[in-house]
Amino acid sequence: MILSDGDILDRLEDGDLVIEPIDDFDTQIQPASVDLRLGEEFLEFQRTNIPCIHPNAEEEVEEYVTETRVPEGDDFILHPGDFVLGTTKERVEVPPDLIAHVEGRSSLGRLAVVVHATAGLCDPGYRGQITLELSNLGSAPVALTPGMRISQLTFTELKSPADRPYGAERGSKYQGQQGPQASRIGSDPEFSPSDRTEPDPRGDDEGS
């Protein structure tokens, strides 16, 4: 079951679902979703001299990612072909019986801006801000202003709560993240089998 606006408000009031801060409930609570705003931090991918980015070499991340902070009121210009990591202003906590879906806003989609490449889920138990995978698929630069509504969350109720929600018990690598976080795929068991005694079945979503 997908939660309606009334369901979302009830869960927020109960406190098991957390989205904060929500400054304007009338604007941000949609009929079956919650609009989230763009944060101030961005990770930009730079051209490098390395032959490729290898998932198991986490030390390379600093070589091709640069952090940029843009205060509210200023613009971050997303150029055609750009791929940058952004973040939501809001922090979320998803209870064990819900899964959150990260979606773009249609008004930005019509400007050729997409907000995620593949990471469209927040697993049950996830806590933290959501990293956005921002791309400009169009032919003209687009100005993104921190504080603007950039994405939306919808919520699906599970048939039963997750037995092992996202978090410390699973070794979940993005739990509690603040600001945009670069890939930590190098810590996955297929790249570092000697560090684990048994397979870790977690996924790569935000659980952003």
Residues of each annotated binding site for dCTP: 105-110, 123, 131-133, 152, 166, 173, 177
Q: Which residues have a catalytic role annotated?
A: 133
For residues 109 and 107, give the distance between their C-alpha atoms in angstroms, rounded to a whole number.
Answer: 5
For residues 153 and 5, give the distance between their C-alpha atoms in angstroms, rounded to a whole number.
Answer: 11
Torsion angle (degrees, nearest 10) of CA 45, 125, 101, 81 = 0
Q: Exposure pattern of 81-99 as b/e (b: 16+ CB <10 Å)?
A: ebebbbbbbbbbebbbbbb
Known binding residues are 105-110, 123, 131-133, 152, 166, 173, 177
Look up residue 54 and give its amino acid.
Answer: H
H/E run at residue 157: strand 149-157
For residues 47 and 105, give the distance between their C-alpha atoms in angstroms, rounded to a whole number.
Answer: 29
